[in-house]
Amino acid sequence: MQIDYCHDRRPEAAEIVRLYDAAQLVRPTRDVQRIQRMYADSTVVWSAWDGNLLVGILRGWTDGGYDGYVCDLAVDPDYQKQGIGRELLTRVAAHYGPEVQWVLRASKLATNYYEHIGWKRIENGWYWPRKTVIST
């Protein structure tokens, strides 16, 4: 199996929805226009492909010089435990260089995943809650 990693190819919203639903990533997948907005305004999008099949995706933001935030990391369940998520994270960090510190908020399904691949837990985070309900 040859996985191709891209930072210059944005998947179609339908491909993203299929992957999010398969990976059980809680996102507003019934609102395709919202998924499109999420990706249109993201500065970081890396994808993993097995031929024409989207099997992994990372979405986030960065200023390119100091801070970066990973919003979404999803890997198709049929492709998990093959290093695709780790490779997406590694490629993003390498692309922007050692000056950028990356943070994220893990989904409940992946609580222990990030520590397993070398990320450090932070305790000083805060968030402003979303005011709308996500319909999945």
Per-residue pLDDT at 136 exceeds 60? no
6 in helix, strand or coil? strand
Rounded distance, CA 134 to CA 130, Å?
A: 9
Question: Is residue 98 a contact partner of residue 65, using CB atoms and an 8 Å limit?
Answer: no
Domains of the chain with bracketed CATH: 4-116 (3.40.630.30)
DSSP for 34-83, please give it: HHHHHHHT-SEEEEEEETTEEEEEEEEEE-SSSEEEEEEEEE-GGGTTSS
Q: What is the pTM of this model?
A: 0.89
Give the per-residue pLDDT at 135. 62
Give the per-residue pLDDT at 124. 83
Give the per-residue pLDDT at 106. 80
Q: pLDDT tens across 65-104, in order? A: 999 999 999 999 999 999 999 999 999 999 999 999 999 9
